[in-house]
């Protein structure tokens, strides 16, 4: 029996309508699926469209942005047809999200306990006393010491790592089917980063969730993801299982990202880099969106944008070079 995806995104487009009639195509016709129990990484530089993808799934896009096309199926339900009230029930209960900076996601005027308890009372209909007990258990589950004291503290009283653990406790409080972690370790030191990522994987296994891990760090991906989607210019440019992608990258952008990862054997002066920066979403090149930065650019790349095509049953790439050379980059 074929396993059914827990999330199925098809031809999603999220555009921002700016002044001077500019349209920023932040997410432009992307499709992907996530299956129960797997960790999928969405990788790319800042400005690639990763966070907007996550916010689109959660339907947290604010004006001047809006989802203009596509479908987002969650266990067969079309989320884009849900009312605001219906989506409020989905968030937290079926899909939960951990944001980059917990200080902006946690309410500074409420205690940690109040914020976790609110989720439990709202989605699990627990009474106040039971919600508090469960909140303490959740804090203990995510490795917070003195949980019975921390529950009465405010976010500003906690370290960055502790705040991120509180966010994870809130996210798993209602045992969602899908957990989206958007750069969950950006502001943390390396040791704490590893602890938080290990904790996410542990929670995924404990609660049988799917995990969408959004990051710019392919080093993190190599350790924690089952499958990788590389995003650039609002589009997915390469997708494959983690080992396949790391060993056989096919897109010049993916190769550039991999070349920029330092390791113990590297001479720092020899570290690779990708020239230029991600263009703004309202000013993408006419052809391939990576064409202005690609060392292998051809005339064809300047005029038309390639489709995402399968190389084999597990690997897809958006690049004319694969057609031109009949093989890898």
Q: How confident is the prediction along the chain (329 residues), in pLDDT tens digits per residue?
A: 467 899 999 999 999 999 888 999 999 999 999 999 999 999 999 999 999 999 999 999 999 999 999 999 998 899 999 999 999 989 988 999 998 777 778 999 999 999 999 989 988 899 999 999 999 999 999 999 999 999 999 999 999 889 989 999 999 998 899 999 998 887 778 888 888 899 999 989 988 899 999 998 888 899 999 999 999 999 999 999 999 999 999 999 999 999 887 764 555 555 567 888 899 999 999 999 999 999 999 999 999 999 999 999 999 999 999 875 555 54
Closest CA to 257 of 287, 228, 300, 225: 228
Distance between start and end Cα atoms, the chain: 36
Angstrom distance (rounded) from CA 178 to CA 95: 5
Calculate the dihedral angle through the C-alpha atoms of 240, 93, 12, 185, rounding to the nearest 10 degrees. -50
Exposed/middle/buried for residue 100 (C-beta within 10 Å: 0-12, 13-18, 19+)? middle
Distances (CA, A) of 191 to 42, 69, 184, 195, 196: 22, 41, 14, 7, 9
Angstrom distance (rounded) from CA 133 to CA 152: 12
Domains of the chain: 7-94+176-325 (3.40.50.300), 103-175 (no CATH)
Is 296:216 a contact under the CB 8 Å cutoff? no
Is 54:212 a contact under the CB 8 Å cutoff? yes
């Amino acid at each position: 029996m074929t396993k059914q995806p827990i999330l199925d995104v098809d031809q999603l487009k999220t555009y921002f309508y700016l002044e001077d009639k500019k349209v920023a195509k932040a997410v432009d016709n992307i499709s992907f699926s996530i299956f129960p129990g797997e960790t999928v990484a969405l990788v790319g530089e800042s400005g690639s469209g990763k966070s907007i993808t996550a916010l689109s799934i959660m339907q947290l896009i604010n004006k001047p942005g809006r989802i203009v096309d596509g479908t987002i199926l969650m266990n067969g339900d079309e989320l884009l047809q849900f009312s605001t009230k219906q989506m409020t029930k989905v968030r937290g209960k079926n899909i939960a999200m951990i944001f980059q900076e917990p200080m902006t996601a946690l309410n500074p005027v409420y205690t940690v306990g109040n914020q976790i308890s609110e989720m439990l009372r709202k989605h699990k209909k627990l009474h106040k006393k039971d919600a508090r007990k469960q909140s303490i258990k959740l804090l203990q589950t995510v490795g917070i010491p003195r949980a019975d004291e921390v529950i009465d503290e405010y976010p500003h009283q906690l370290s960055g790592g502790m705040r991120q653990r509180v966010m994870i406790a809130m996210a798993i409080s209602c045992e969602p089917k899908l957990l989206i972690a958007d750069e969950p370790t950006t502001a943390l030191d390396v040791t704490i980063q590893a602890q938080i990522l290990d904790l996410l994987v542990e929670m995924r296994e404990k609660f049988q969730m799917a995990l969408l891990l959004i990051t710019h760090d392919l080093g993190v991906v190599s350790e924690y993801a089952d499958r990788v989607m590389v995003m650039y210019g609002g589009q997915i440019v390469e997708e494959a299982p983690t080992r396949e992608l790391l060993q056989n990258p096919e897109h010049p952008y993916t190769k550039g990202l991999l070349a920029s990862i330092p390791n113990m054997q590297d001479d720092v002066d020899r570290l690779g880099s990708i020239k230029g920066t991600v263009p703004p979403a309202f000013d993408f090149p006419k052809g391939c969106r990576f064409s202005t930065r690609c060392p292998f650019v051809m005339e064809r790349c300047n005029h038309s944008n390639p489709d995402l095509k399968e190389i084999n049953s597990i690997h897809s790439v958006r690049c004319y070079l694969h057609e031109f050379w009949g093989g890898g980059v």
